[in-house]
Amino acid sequence: MPNPETASSGVVGREPFGSRLATAMAVRGPLCVGIDPHPALLKGWGLNDDVDGLRRFSLTALESVGSVAAAVKPQVALYERHGSAGMAVLEEVLAACTDAGVLSIADAKRGDIGSTMAAYADAWLRDGSSLAADSVTLSPYLGFESLRPALDLAVQYGRGVFVLALTSNPEGPSVQHVGAGDSVARRITEAAASENSRVAALSSTGTEAMAPAGTALGSVGLVVGATVGAAVEQLGLDLAAMAGPILAPGLGAQGATAADMRATFGAAYPQVLGTSSREILAAGPDAGNLREAALRTLDLLRID
């Protein structure tokens, strides 16, 4: 993967996240491994459900799969449950991702308004923050534009965001499907497409330091569950036109197969970053087994 600090397009000398992710997916394949230190997985690895177990689990997972995955996705809540010491481990993991040259997606699902949203953006996207990741997941349900501080800071620092659009939890449709042909999920998808188009246009005029117009992926992505099935078509979501990456959790233990994902995402499948957590992590703690599990999953995801 290219060194993000050597590119010339970003304000701070970093290639935009969408470009970096597109390169990683082309070179390594479209796999994101979730680093989810659930108590049951810690126990399965013979580790205590404490800060030491959290650190050993996280760093072993990263060291095992970091060279074969396009990205890794630490689940922030599972670090928060250990308090400040757990968050210190997360800081260590994010720094280790940078050292290993693997892109990080902080699965924090942050969303708020005004100065509070600006503070979240500062924590997860600003250079110099101990929690800065290459990208962060965001919740848009206070309105897509409430995310503006994070959208703008991501542009400034060459980082990215993944906005929740169509999730596979049973409660999701009660919000995301509302409006049918003009659903909440469709409006979020269109807003992400508009944001990627806006940034590309600014780049082409030199107004804003970004990747050239026409870059393979924009830096505003969506979270769309791998198990949503026909909902993408039923709600009329044009994911290919969104022109950003699609983070698709649910591969493996949650029920989705690579064939399911090809059917679900259709023309947008080349944008999809398939995400597997428990299916791969259950192969631990042996590093070789973890790597082999990741490679098996990756083989299924590759486009023939």
* Rounded distance between C-alpha atoms, residue 241 and residue 28, angstroms: 24
* Rounded distance between C-alpha atoms, residue 118 and residue 137, angstroms: 15
Q: Is 239:268 a contact under the CB 8 Å cutoff?
A: yes
Which residues are bridge partners to 166 per DSSP?
224
* Rounded distance between C-alpha atoms, residue 183 and residue 188, angstroms: 9
In terms of Cβ atoms closer than 10 Å to its own Cβ (0-12, 13-18, 19+), residue 3 is exposed
Q: Is 237:265 a contact under the CB 8 Å cutoff?
A: no
- Specify the DSSP element, H or E, that contains 118: helix 114-125
- Choose, from 9, 38, 88, 109, the residue flagged as catalytic: 109
Residue 41, helix vs strand vs coil: helix
73 is catalytic: no
| Catalytic positions | 109
